[in-house]
Amino acid sequence: MTRQRGFTLIETTVAVALLAVIVVTILSAFSAITLAARRHQQETTLDLVTRQDAEFIKSQVYSASPTPYTNIAVGGYSFSYQALYYDPTQVSPAPQFSAAYSDNGLQELVLTVTGPNNTTETLDFLKVQP
């Protein structure tokens, strides 16, 4: 009787188990990459929406008491802003802004945008009366 060469059941089982571990590892890596890409896209969109809203607010006519801006946020994103006023008598150690001060022609606007995954971005910018 001649002995035939081939793989034993143990060798085949080990090979299949090793292949399964490799496949699961690769699929996990793709899943992690997909989640990271989605998170990065949401953060980039949040940054873009925040800057677009800030540019819209800056393009509006200066108002001593700004009225609420409407229709500037993209669906799924919400925004809020606060107008702070400059007080020229409070300059030490740095210029002071507060909502309690009266308008002197210089506002600090604090814009906060919240994304659909509850991440927020805050942008401070100045608006000067022409």
Residues near 37 by beta carbon (within 8 Å), at least 6 away in sequence: none
Residue 77 placed within a domain: yes
- Please indicate, yes or no, if residue 118 is contained in any of the structural domains: yes
**Considering the domain boundaries, does residue 3 fall inside one?**
no
**Domain around 15:** 9-128
User: How many folded domains does the chain comprise?
Assistant: 1
Q: Can you tell me the distance from the alpha carbon of 84 to that of 109, in angstroms, rounded to the nearest whole number? A: 6
pLDDT at 62 over 80: yes
Residue 56 has pLDDT above 80, yes or no: yes
DSSP for 16-32 reads HHHHHHHHHHHHHHHHH
The answer to whether residue 64 is domain-embedded is yes
User: What's the pLDDT tens digit per position in 37-54?
Assistant: 999 998 999 999 889 888
Q: How many CB atoms lie within 10 A of CB 59?
A: 7
Helix (H) or strand (E) holding 54: helix 9-59
Residue 94, in any domain of the structure: yes
Full-model pTM: 0.69
